[in-house]
Structure 1
Amino acid sequence: MAEDYERQFAKHFERHGKEMMGTLKQSVEDALAPIKEALGKTLEMVQEHAFGGDCFRGGQICKPSGEIQVQPVIGLAQRTEQCEIPSEATFTLTSSGESPHTHTEVVTFETKLPGADMWECNPYIVYGLTSCLLALAIYNIQRARKPAHLYGRYQTGGQPVTYVPAKIGWFVMELPSFLVPMLLMYQVGSLDGMGSKILTFMFCGHYFHRTFIYAVRNNGCPTTLQIVLSGCLFCTLNGYLQGYTMVYCTRYDDNWTTGFQFISGAVLYFVGISINIHSDCILRDLRKPGDLRYYIPEGGLFEYVTAANYFGEILEWFGYAIATSTLPAFAFAIFTASHLGSRAWHHHRYYLEKFDDYPKSRKALIPLIF
């Protein structure tokens, strides 16, 4: 009885089974069709973004070019250029069947974009903030011959202003230039390439010292709240500009850190920051706690210029600009030179007027020149 039943079922399955499995296979294919179409559009979008965006090459915006090499399971291959976009897109479509009557399709889609996405670079942000830096530099140059801003030694009593202690003021002003680039790096996870990592360390290293070491040890005069807030705003915008450019808009070859341009810029940077820190130490040691008077600094480059600390910082940022070779870095170096150059000129005149025995051979900013 059982054998007759099995034979009848086998005949029935042979007659209708193929038709049923064909219908099932068609149903599966119909269900997968929208998914396949969506994957195709996604691939086109990824290719358009990865190979059609703007990026920086040696400080200039460039249009990356390259051919997409399609491999069996790789829908988007990598390019190798100086302006490389480290992106991958993997599409895998597999089918397997245990018998002629079954059909299974499994579609998986995975997009990997390690590091910062180059196509997120917005040139309007870069050019807009860079233009602001250059405009401020022009303003500083035009204002150099006018009286100094009312801060530090140039403050006069009786003014209805709010003063902030030097330690707090410098901490608040300098912190954004360290914090903002660090937050941008945290947002993308990591930087690609040793060049980007070293250059970001150089920028953040300066402001780490200014925020957590120089500000804490500063024993200068209180400054006005207006100067603190304006300095904080500037450091926020400049920190964003420099960090955004390095994180989203700049890529370097693996051999960039061994080239002459990087090495010469890095050497100039470290010479400048050494002069800056050493000069700040000399100025700080002139005073005892609670003493707000001004003295003639001696030693180091102060034997040649009035503003040795400013001279070191200008060297530092021009070295950084040479090492990075980006327009925002050069704009920041030019702004620094115009801003600190103006302050150095006013300081030099102040010392000459206040101290009769001030060395007449000292220059204001650049040894033997200016």
Structure 2
Amino acid sequence: MAVLMDFVFPAPPSWLMTAMTVITATFSVIGGISEASGKNGQYSKFWNAGGDIRRKTKIPSRVGMFFAYSPALAAALVSFAIPAFSFAGRSRLVGTVLGIHFFKRVFEVLFIHHYSGQIMLNDTIVISMGYFINTVCLLYAQYLTHGTPEPSFDLKNAGIVLFIVGITGNFYHHWLLSKLRRKDEKEYKIPSGGLFGLVICPHYLFEIIGFFGIALISQTLYSFTWAFGTMLYLGGRSYATRKWYLSKFENFSRDVKAVVPYVF
């Protein structure tokens, strides 16, 4: 524990942040296991379609994903109206990278991704609330560090580098995925280019890298919990994605891993 304190701010005396840290860690583990075991989210191309969903309210996927990310983007932008964030270097930096992250997601929804179906309204609400609550908690955890001693090791610069690598790599592989099919095509294809020859989900790999970049910039216990939780969830999702491709394409190479080249 003493070694950990060299890298993170002291845990704030806040029952809310303590509870949210535990909840985030718990749901991340459950979500990762569920995705890996095949109980996938209903916005996924390989979700379990056995249930009757005809009576559930559906909306266009592009509209759903726009509203999924917009509240979190708004939360990051609003943080700059709070003086404690506007004039504190680390807090301002955390708000900036979160704003960039969710702006990129909204931009991709509007101009990069191709959608051919619909998403359940209740799924949109759950996703939106999850991103919004996590963003607010990360910002609030940073706010609670004001006036406390900085960690012995300042990891901001390393975090900035990881964030840039993560968001750039994620955007590039999303762009490659968007070019995979023409507008009139609906069938799935095996992705190629970039790191797709090594892993089936390089966009998730770079997203994980980006979240750890944010954690290093923030250096709060909650930010690291969020980053590790993201890694567990996207790791499970990547495992399920690789399994799906193996079941759909006879020529899909087993040498292509899920998310970490040559490893997993």
Q: Please report the TM-score for the alignment, with normalisation by the length of structure 2.
A: 0.86
1:129–1:237 contact (8 Å) kept in structure 2: no
Distance 1:184 1:205 in 2: 13
Question: CA RMSD for the aligned pairs?
Answer: 2.5
CA contact (8 A) 2:46 2:244 kept: no
Contact 1:181 1:242 in 2 (8 A): no
Tell me the equivalent position of 1:186: 81
Residue aligning to 2:25:
134
Match of 2:127 among 228, 231, 234: 231
Change in 2 beyond 3 A, CA 1:190/1:269: closer
Check conservation: 2:177, 2:191, Cα contact below 8 A: yes
The answer for the alignment partner of 1:342 in structure 2 is: 236
Note the C-alpha offset of 1:190. Answer: 4.8
| Counterpart for residue 166 of structure 1 | 61
- For 1:190 and 1:140, the matched residues in 2 are separated by 32
Residue 290 of structure 1 and its aligned partner are, at CA, apart by 4.6
* 1:312 maps to 2:170: no
Q: Quote how far apart the aligned CAs of 1:329 are.
A: 0.6
The amino acid that maps onto 1:58 is V
Q: Per-residue CA shift, 1:265-294, capped at 9, x if unaligned?
A: 221121111111111001111122253321
Which residue is 1:351 aligned to?
245
Alignment partner of 1:152 is 2:44:
yes
Contact 2:42 2:123 in 1 (8 A): no
Match of 1:206 in 2: 101
The total of aligned residue pairs comes to 251
Question: What aligned pairs does 1:10-49 form with structure 2 within 5 A after superposition?
Answer: none
Q: TM-score, normalised by structure 1?
A: 0.62
Distance 1:163 1:152, change over 3 A: farther
Cα distance change on mapping 1:228 and 1:187 into 2, 3 Å: same
Asked whether the equivalents of residues 126 and 241 of structure 1 are also in contact (C-alpha less than 8 Å), the reply is: yes
Q: Determine the structure 2 residue equivalent to 1:60.
A: 10
The answer (yes or no) to whether the contact 1:219–1:290 under 8 Å persists in 2 is no
What secondary structure, in the 3-state scheme, does the structure 2 residue paired with 1:223 have? strand
Q: 2:80–2:95: 8 Å Cα contact kept in structure 1?
A: no
SS in 2 for 1:153: coil
Percent identity of equivalent pairs: 23
1:43-83, CA deviations, whole angstroms, 9 ceiling, x for partnerless residues?
Answer: xxxxxxxxxxxxxx933236xxxxxxxxxxxxxxxxxxxxx
Which is strand-richer, 1 or 2? 1
Where does the alignment leave 5 or more consecutive residues of structure 1 unmatched?
A: 1-56, 63-121
Tell me if the contact between 1:174 and 1:210 (Cα under 8 Å) persists in the aligned partners: yes
Q: What amino acid is the match of 1:199?
A: V
- 1:363 aligns with one of 237, 257, 261: 257
**Which residue does 1:71 correspond to in 2?**
none
Change (3 A) 1:266 1:167: same
- AA of the residue aligned to 1:321: A
Aligned counterparts of 1:281 and 1:252: Cα–Cα separation in 2: 42
Cα offset, 1:305, TM superposition: 0.2
Q: CA deviation digits over 1:17-66, x for unaligned, max 9?
A: xxxxxxxxxxxxxxxxxxxxxxxxxxxxxxxxxxxxxxxx933236xxxx
Deviates more, 1:232-241 or 1:284-293: 284-293
Amino acid at match of 1:171: F
Counterpart in the other structure of 1:88 = none
Structure 1 residues 123-167: Cα deviation after superposition (integer angstroms, max 9, x where no partner): 122222222101112212432324323333125386323322121
Indicate which of 273, 281, 284 corresponds to 2:175: 281
Q: Which runs of 4+ in 1 moved over 4 A?
A: none
Matched letter for residue 203 of structure 1 = L
Alignment check: 8 A CA contact 1:152 1:223 kept = no
CA distance in 1, matches of 2:8, 2:236: 30
